């Protein structure tokens, strides 16, 4: 049990710092920027991203060991199967939320599409398949992807507030250009954790 927990923690740390999908691959960057602009969204969106990523990673890993491992599906077909699983998971969650007597049901249904149908969510099971990792690693990667999404959103959110208050930024660079430059610098900082050569 201790080994399983250590693998989950290691995978989560790997997903947050060493292979942060938002910064290393630009996955989900538009959703992160959208969530960062609204102060109420980061936590809710990140929790949903984490839940969907973890659930999809676990389901796809179980599917891989039970059925897909013995088939000779091409990578594109495997991605299509994973996409079908994600779509089915999204529909089930939407139906469950719609049937619950919640006051925030409309808000949840509005945010759930952006959280579930996100390139970060889809990338994690494909990365796990390519690396040939086990179920514990899948859980850790799923949770870590959600934490990474939240961390990036918080960093960009705080940076956007500072950039909006800075009067020294030329008008040409204010707004989206300044946000993109700031995000690029953050991505460079996170790339330093990977110890990979950039050029």
Task: Give the pLDDT score at 26.
Answer: 78
In 10 A of CB 88, how many CB atoms? 11
The CA R_g of the chain, rounded to the nearest whole Å, is 18
Which tens digits make up the pLDDT trace of 50-97?
A: 999 999 999 999 988 877 777 777 778 888 999 999 999 999 999 998
> What number is the average pLDDT over the span 190-194?
74
Model confidence, pTM = 0.83
> What number is the average pLDDT over the span 96-117?
83
Q: Domain-by-domain residue ranges, the chain?
A: 2-194
Whether pLDDT at 198 is above 70: no
- Does residue 103 or residue 147 have the better pLDDT? 147
Three state DSSP letters for 63-101: HHHHCHHHCCCCHHHHHHHHHHHHHHHHHHHHHHHHHCC
Contact 42, 150 (CB under 8 A): yes
């Amino acid at each position: 049990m201790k080994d399983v927990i250590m693998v989950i923690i290691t995978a989560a740390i790997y997903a947050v710092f060493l292979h942060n999908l938002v910064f290393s691959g630009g996955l989900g960057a538009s959703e992160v920027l959208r969530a960062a602009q609204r102060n109420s969204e980061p936590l809710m969106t990140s929790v949903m991203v984490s839940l969907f990523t973890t659930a999809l990673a676990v389901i796809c890993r179980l599917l891989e060991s039970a059925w897909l491992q013995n088939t000779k599906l091409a990578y594109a077909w495997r991605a299509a199967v994973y996409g079908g699983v994600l779509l089915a998971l999204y529909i089930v969650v939407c139906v469950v939320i719609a049937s619950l007597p919640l006051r925030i049901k409309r808000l949840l249904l509005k945010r759930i599409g952006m959280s579930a149908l996100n390139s970060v969510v889809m990338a994690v099971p494909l990365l796990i398949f390519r690396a040939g990792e086990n179920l514990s690693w899948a859980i850790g990667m799923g949770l870590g992807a959600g934490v990474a999404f939240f961390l990036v959103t918080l960093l960009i959110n705080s940076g956007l507030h500072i950039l909006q208050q800075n009067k020294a930024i030329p008008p040409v660079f204010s707004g989206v250009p300044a946000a993109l430059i700031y995000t690029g610098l953050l991505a460079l900082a996170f790339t330093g954790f990977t110890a990979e050569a950039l050029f």
